[in-house]
Structure 1
Amino acid sequence: MNTHTESKQDLQDKHYWLRKFRMAKNDKTLERMVSRAIDDHHRESSVVAAIYLAECQRERELNQGRYLDS
């Protein structure tokens, strides 16, 4: 992930992460994407919070069978 092109405000936005996580078509891929995002931003609590919220929403979407970015 290239954080140099993303603003801190973008990284703190749940919708930013949700757009990224919607590329995950299954739980395993989502888990890897979230793990990498947390590894990259673990020192920034507001970014980690946004990642967590987006992960929760994407998990709900996957459980509902919503696979496409809509």
Structure 2
Amino acid sequence: MNEHTAPEQQLKDKMYWLRKFRMAKNDKTLERMVSRAIDEYHNKTQIAAAIYLAECQRERELMLGRYLDS
């Protein structure tokens, strides 16, 4: 399921975006993924907030070299 077919409620969930962003193995790839998502959902505040929170967590994970629990 991609973001074009995902229900809006699912798009508002940080964990949905975190699962997607965990595909990024480095900062540059993460930056591109987040940029693309924000370009598409910048006008939907709750979705943009979920994207931002997931981005922050994934950045911490990459920096620490591990997955964080929440």
**Residue identity opposite 1:20 in structure 2:** K
Percent identity (aligned): 71
Give the count of matched residue pairs: 66
Provide the TM-score with structure 2 as the length reference: 0.89
- CA RMSD across the alignment: 1.3
Flag the 1:21–1:46 CA change in 2: closer, same or farther, 3 A.
same
User: Does the alignment pair 1:52 with 2:46?
Assistant: no
**Superposition pairs of residues 1-70 of structure 1, within 5 angstroms:** 2-3=3-4, 5-66=5-66
**Residue identity opposite 1:15 in structure 2:** M
Task: Tell me the SS of whatever aligns to 1:6.
Answer: coil
Flag the 1:42–1:9 CA change in 2: closer, same or farther, 3 A.
same
Flag as ranges the 4+ runs of structure 1 deviating above 2 A: none
**Residue identity opposite 1:51 in structure 2:** I
Q: Which structure's relative contact order is higher, taking Cα pairs within 8 Å and 6+ residues apart? A: 1
